[in-house]
Amino acid sequence: MKHYMFPSVAKDPGQVVIHIGTNDLNPDSHSVANNIIELADEGLAQKHKVFVSSIICCHDFTLNNKVRQ
C-alpha cells in the first residue's frame, strides 16, 4: 500500500496526511492496522510529520440523496 505515498512523499512536503477509510476487505483487523502503521512509518522514515485522519463524513442530506439517485 505504501506505493500510493511515493508520488506525494517525493515532492518533500514536510507533512503527510493519511486519510483512512474502511474499504479494506481484509477481515483481519490486525492486518489493516499494520498497513496503516506501514504507511505512517514510510512518511516518518522520510522525516515528514505524519497525521492520520479518518474520512470526513458529509451530513448534507440534500447532497446525500442526490448521490443515492
DSSP element (H, E) containing 18: strand 15-20
- Number of domains the chain contains: 1
pTM of the model: 0.59
pLDDT tens for the chain, residues 1 to 69: 666 666 777 777 788 888 877 666 666 778 878 888 888 888 888 788 888 888 776 676 676 676 676
**Domain, as residue range, for 11:** 2-68
Q: Could you give the 3-state DSSP secondary structure of residue 20? A: strand
Distance separating the N- and C-terminal Cα atoms of the chain = 32
Q: Identify whether the C-beta of residue 20 lies closer than 8 Å to the C-beta of residue 52.
A: yes
Q: Identify whether the C-beta of residue 5 lies closer than 8 Å to the C-beta of residue 45.
A: no
- Dihedral sign computed on CA atoms, order 43, 45, 46, 51: positive
